[in-house]
Amino acid sequence: MPFHHSALLRALLAIVVLPVFCSAQGFSRKSSWSSSNKWSSSNKWSSANQQKSQRQVSNGDAELLDLLRSNGVEAIDTPEQDPKHAALGNLLFFDRLICGNNDTACATCHHPLTSTSDTLSLGVGTGSPSKNEVGVFRVMGEGREFVPRTSPDIFNRGSAHWTSMFWDSRVSTAGGVTTSPAGAALPSELVKPLQIQAMFPPTSRGEMRGSHEDVFNGNEVAAFADDDFAGIWEALFARVMDNDIYRAMFLDAFPEVDEADLGFQHAAIALAAFETEAFGMNDSPFDEFLRGNTQAMSRAAKRGAFLFYGKAGCVDCHSGTLLTDQLHHNLAVPQIGPGKNPLTGLDHGRMGITADPADEFAFRTPPLRNVTATGPWMHNGAFSSLEDVIEHHLDPKESLRDYRARLQLVQPDLISTVVNGRTMQDWMLDTAEEVDVELSKREKSDLIEFLHSLTAPDLAARLQALIPASVPSGMLENGLGE
Ligand code: HEC
Ligand code: HEC
């Protein structure tokens, strides 16, 4: 069932109903613009007034720049990569070869056609009958489970500011200490969190590796025990090096490494180089503004920025250049899907890693560049409108009590999985962040305009250009179906 009826309804509402409503109420931006323009052109006072207001705006710009700089926000960095690593990573990212069952690639869940995420509430991993399909066209395979969390976007994850990966930061380099699910088995060549992260999707049974039963379909990678990371990586890399084109490319891209010392970590280095280069975008209106181009952001976006860094308190967590503190907070987002803990069937968030009750239901603050293109939002895709995301932040309790899965979840199959009884709600609200902000309708829409200013121009076209024409294994995930 590809399209969710309520998503369709929403789209229809947005296209047909809202503009009519707005113009009837005289709300539309256009009409207020034109009326003030008319007024000013027929009034002698206006030019003095206009100059005055322009001065105010530019004073406002200086104030906003100061505010951003005092908060330690800079235009995002896009570290330069070894072109041979990036070219190799580009192929690996779109190749189903490194999936146990040869039916899923990194691109499947982070496709350029779906803004480096997948437009789903929860991801659909290996074993799906939807071959080479992405987004809402991907349905669950029989006997398979949803991936427990939503596929995050992967924009700008190569920035030097990152010290954590995943919604629970189970990969971390914070404080100069590297931690990952592989412990001592993690190869020492890996330095950046993005490189370390790339080691894990192919080890995950649900995402890419396959179930125990898949062994009988010739999937040798599925045979390893879940904690035998070294075994899994060796088997995966053997597949890659069995391909003459990849072998030649690896030898060429890592000339300083003996062939016998090459391993899946070098594939991870290549993948991270590609992700850094391809998905690193530093020209959003916000980044342009940060470089001093004060015209880049609209007035509404600037008003939204003053709120974000002021009264609305967003900067308390969405801080710094990445717009995240890389810390974990419980926002009381409803529980959806299979969960991460087999005993409770719940996703306990960061507590699943630290076992610290203070981390119960806490998830890493997400970064926000290009966020307007990467819904549904939250760690499990619980919300499909940014307006509702903001409402939820402002009053998690009311939003949780009123949560309507039918209107929010992209996959109808997930509706029955929502754990949202009163006891569950109270448990989550018990440790949830207290938010005490009230915003007017106009302020909320200014905040949304600010979020739009974080999105890079021509995003869709730039992303589409990253899809290679072919990959060495012949198993290209271009998302265009079979
Ligand atoms: C089946 C879907 C799926 C596939 C395939 C997949 N991912 Fe992901 N990816 C996810 C999900 C879900 C998460 C979040 C998991 C979590 O936080 O527990 C994630 C997280 C990430 C992150 C961390 C982003 C952040 O901000 O923390 C990166 C980077 C990433 N994936 C890259 C990759 C790469 C590279 C590959 C291929 C080697 C890949 N993914 C394959 C679904 C997928
Ligand atoms: C107390 C810390 C905190 C504050 C304050 C905060 N956020 Fe968040 N924000 C988070 C966390 C944590 C999540 C993810 C929660 C989850 O998935 O469980 C999130 C999620 C989001 C998302 C969804 C992003 C995605 O990729 O899914 C948006 C958009 C967002 N916040 C915007 C805002 C805005 C706008 C404000 C100010 C009104 C704000 N946030 C205030 C911590 C915070």
pLDDT, one tens digit per residue, over 197-225 is 999 999 999 999 999 999 999 999 999 99
158-173: per-residue pLDDT in tens?
999 999 999 999 999 9
Return phi, psi of residue 5, to 5°: -60, -40
Rg for the chain, CA atoms, rounded? 24
In a domain, 18, yes or no: no
Q: Which residues contact 278 (CB under 8 A, 6 or more apart)?
A: 86, 90, 466
Q: How do residues 126-138 score in pLDDT, each as one tens digit? A: 999 999 999 999 9
Instruction: Using the atom order of ligand 2, give the atom closest to the CA of residue 364.
Output: 12
The amino acid sitting at 465 is A
The answer to whether residue 309 scores a pLDDT higher than 60 is yes
Q: In the structure, what pLDDT confidence band is assigned to residue 434 with cuts at 50, 70 and 90?
A: confident
Domain count, the chain: 2
Distances (CA, A) of 165 to 173, 199, 281, 350, 407: 9, 12, 18, 12, 30
Contact between residue 329 and residue 316 where contact means Cβ atoms under 8 Å apart: no
The predicted model gives 227-256 an average pLDDT of: 98
Rounded mean pLDDT of 403-420?
A: 96
Average pLDDT over residues 63-82: 98
Report residue 35's pLDDT band, with 50, 70 and 90 as the boundaries: very low
Greatest alpha-carbon pair distance for the chain in Å reads 84
pLDDT grade for 59, boundaries at 50, 70 and 90: confident
Q: Which residues contact 196 (CB under 8 A, 6 or more apart)?
A: 165, 171, 173, 178, 180, 186, 190, 268
Instruction: Tell me: pLDDT of 360 over 90.
Output: yes
* pLDDT tens string 172-204: 999 999 999 999 999 999 999 999 999 999 999
Residue 135 CA, ligand 1 centroid: distance in Å: 15
Ligand 2 centroid, distance to 227 Cα (angstroms): 33
Question: Is the pLDDT confidence value at 31 over 70?
Answer: no
The finding on whether 378 has its CB within 6 A of some atom of ligand 1 is no
End-to-end CA distance of the chain: 18
2 part of a folded domain: no
* C-alpha dihedral sign at 127, 128, 134, 136: negative
Could you tell which of 121, 326, 331, 383 is best to mutate to test the pocket of ligand 2, judged by most ligand atoms within 8 Å of the CB? 331
Q: Is 198 in the pocket of ligand 1 (CB under 6 A)?
A: yes
| Of 305, 275, 247, residue with least CA distance to 443 | 305
CATH of the domain at 417: 1.10.760.10
Asked whether 122 and 414 are in contact (CB, 8 A), the reply is yes
Helices (H), 213-280: 229-241, 244-253, 264-279
Q: What is the mean pLDDT of the chain?
A: 90
What band does 124 get if pLDDT is binned at 50, 70 and 90?
A: very high
Strand partners, 258: none
Give the ligand with the smallest distance to the CA of 373. 2
Top mutation candidate among 118, 154, 233 for ligand 1, by most atoms within 8 Å of CB? 154
Whether residues 212 and 344 fall in one domain: no
| 193 lies in some domain | yes
Closest to 150 measured CA to CA, from 103, 192, 99, 115:
115
Q: Is the CB of 151 under 6 A from ligand 1?
A: yes
Shared domain check, 258 and 141: yes
Q: Which helix (H) or strand (E) holds 8?
A: helix 5-12
371 lines ligand 2 (CB under 6 A): yes
Question: Residue 159 CA: which ligand is closest?
Answer: 1
Task: Assess contact for 165 and 197: CB atoms under 8 A.
Answer: yes
Q: What is the structure's pLDDT at 325?
A: 98
C-alpha distances in Å from residue 182, one per residue of 196, 212, 263, 354: 10, 20, 15, 15
Q: What is the band of 237 on the pLDDT scale with cuts at 50, 70, 90?
A: very high
Choose the final residue of a domain: 260, 281, 302: 281
Last residue of some domain: 281, 304, 319?
A: 281
What is the DSSP secondary structure assignment for residue 95, as one 8-state letter? B
Average pLDDT of the residues in 67-83: 98
Angle (CA) 405 208 420, round 5°: 20
Give pTM, 2 decimals.
0.90
Residue 179 and residue 296 share a domain: no
- Determine the distance separating the centroid of ligand 2 and the alpha carbon of 393, expressed in angstroms: 7
Output the CA torsion sign for 104, 322, 279, 303.
positive
Confidence tier at 463 by pLDDT (50, 70, 90): very high
Residue 210, domain member (yes or no): yes
Atom of ligand 2 minimally distant from the CA of 437: 38
User: What six digits make up the tokens of 294?
Assistant: 């004060």
Spatial distance between the Cα atoms of 300 and 448, rounded to a whole number of angstroms: 9
Ligand 1 atom 40, closest CA: 106
Pick the residue whose CA is nearest to atom 41 on ligand 1: 106
Taking 60 as the threshold, does the pLDDT of residue 238 lie above it? Answer: yes
Q: Is the pLDDT of residue 8 over 60?
A: no
Report if residue 318 sits inside a domain: yes
- 19 lies in a domain? no
Which amino acid residue places its CA nearest to atom 9 of ligand 1? Answer: 151
Q: Cβ contacts of residue 77 below 8 Å, gap of 6+?
A: 159, 160, 161, 282, 321
Tell me whether residue 9 is in a domain.
Answer: no
Cβ 379 under 6 angstroms from ligand 1: no
The answer, yes or no, to whether residue 23 has pLDDT greater than 90, is: no
Ligand nearest to the CA of residue 105, numbered in listed order: 1
Name the pLDDT band for 106 (thresholds 50, 70, 90): very high
Give the model's pLDDT for residue 18.
Answer: 30
Return the H-helix or E-strand segment holding 172.
Answer: strand 171-172
The closest residue, in CA terms, to atom 13 on ligand 1 is 151
How sure is the predictor about 42, in pLDDT bands with cuts at 50, 70 and 90?
very low
Q: Whose CA is nearest to atom 43 of ligand 1?
A: 109
Is 409's C-beta closer than 6 angstroms to any atom of ligand 1? no
Q: Are residues 190 and 214 in the same domain?
A: yes
One domain for residues 276 and 291:
no
